Amino acid sequence: MQDIKELTKIALVGQPNVGKSSLFNRIAQKRIAIVSEQSGTTRDIRKHRVNIFDKEALMLDTGGIDETNDAIFSVVKRKAIQTAKESDIVLFMVDGKKLPDEKDKELFYELQNLGKKLALIVNKIDNDKEMERLWDFYEFGIGEENLFAISVSHNRGTKSLMDWINKHLPEPFLEASLEDENEELNEDELDENYDEEITDINESEEDDNKLRVAIIGRVNVGKSSILNALLGEERSVVSPIAGTTIDPVDEMYEYKDKEITFVDTAGLRRRGSIEGIEKYALMRTKEMLEQANLALLVLDASEPFVDLDEKIAGLVDEYGLGTIIVLNKWDNNIETFKKIEEEIRDRFKFLFYAPIIAVSAKTGRSIDRLKDKLIEIYDNYAQRITTSKLNATIEEAVRRHALPSPNGAYLRIYYTTQFETKPPRIALIMNKPNVLHFSYKRYLINFLRSNIDFEGTPIHLVARKKGERDNHEEEFLEE
């Protein structure tokens, strides 16, 4: 697979509600961008690897360009044009059910002057009779070979467009064949590869170097500003208007040999305030949390915390993510920090393991420290503790505080082993797992934390009998 930086970039540009996000989803072959009748649903730049037949490219769905005085859309237009400048192929999309207007022409000529490979896509041409409307768009002065009449909703005409895109993509990179690779290995090396033990806990080193970080919080706490500060560029649209981010925005960033994909999720409101399109945003946010490894729970240090902050933090806990609590908009002294830290620990008891970092996305304060802490927490989240170390730790815990004997029952832990990572899941193999009291399990988890670095990550502890399968396990989650 090619490095993402080497992929040909294809930008989708056009006014709001012409069908860009629908075409983006069609080419990506999955529903990634939110589609709505409401104008301006897409506000940030959405990126996704796509396959155009046998070739790979990077698709960029830009926000709808709307010439209004709205502060958000003035930023959206600037970013859309900038994205087109940085792309190799530009797809300019218009609504075929409307006559072309001066705004369309002005934008098209601006794009044409960039000197990119440019296609004019007339969408919503649903049948042969409506093909007559295509003549109105020849006045743009584009050649017939670069003009496409399509209907994304009816999947009409998209094959010709895909052929055109494919023609302008470079030939795929051909990797060495399996035979060529095998010739470079001697017999001892091959035997060593085949004899390598594979267990459920093992994951590839490549996967261990890839982080997916969800940035989550209620509306207008500064999530998009933090994303921009982490990336060192204006990636996500920032506005004082609450709810600017609707689609989760993702961006890959390399740091200390790790490939970090940040996901700026939509700001969440009280349930009674979620209407229309924000319901899709909430669903998409949950989908992103399912795919994430870590979460940055963003709180606004300039305002009192509210119940909604706790409910959002509960989502992070629900999905078992490694977590950092980020206090944004921080301008106070250390004495104030200690006071707020006490309040956070009181409100978010279930995230007691999460470190708290006070930052200012505006000034860049502690952003580098936040990046370093992300790497540390991920290493804890993905770590594999040897069975010998776990057994020694649990044995020491039992020596210090003996196993209880409820109703005279004799309890014995045979051994302890880790059976999963991300988050760490640890099994206690014992004779009577069902009668082990939760308070003793909590004691064991606390003892593990005091002897092994699990900062920022939950620990899931399982008590089970010898030979018992995973689906019979009764898992203990920290409270």
Four-residue CA torsion sign, 395, 400, 401, 402: positive
Instruction: Report the range out of 80-84, 174-178, 214-218, 353-357 with the highest average pLDDT.
Output: 353-357
Inform me whether the pLDDT recorded for 34 exceeds 70. Answer: no
**Distance (Å, whole) CA 466 – CA 414:** 9
The SS3 call for residue 120 is strand
Which pLDDT does position 31 carry in this prediction?
55
Does position 262 have pLDDT exceeding 60, yes or no? yes
Cis peptide before 423 (omega within 30 of 0): yes
Under DSSP, the state recorded for 472 is: G
The more confidently predicted of residues 196 and 252 is 252
- Give Cα separations from 395 to 389, 398, 401 (angstroms): 10, 5, 10
What number is the average pLDDT over the span 377-391? 94
Under 8 Å between Cβ of 117 and 88: yes
pLDDT-based confidence at 39, cuts 50/70/90? very low
pLDDT for 386 beyond 90: yes
Confidence label for 333 from pLDDT (cuts 50, 70 and 90): low
pLDDT at 71 over 80: no
Determine the residue type at 311: K
Between 54 and 445, the more confident residue is 445
- Confidence tier at 264 by pLDDT (50, 70, 90): low
0.75 cut: is pTM over it? no
Pick the closest to residue 18 from 123, 99, 91 (CA basis): 123
3-state secondary structure at position 76: helix
**Which domains are present in the chain?**
4-167 (3.40.50.300), 205-381 (3.40.50.300), 387-477 (3.30.300.20)
Cα–Cα dist 412/419, whole Å: 20
**How confident is the model at residue 18, as a pLDDT?**
86
Q: Distance from first CA to last CA of the chain, Å, rounded? A: 42
The amino acid occupying position 231 is L
Label residue 14 by pLDDT band (50, 70, 90): confident
Confidence bin at 33 (pLDDT 50/70/90) = very low
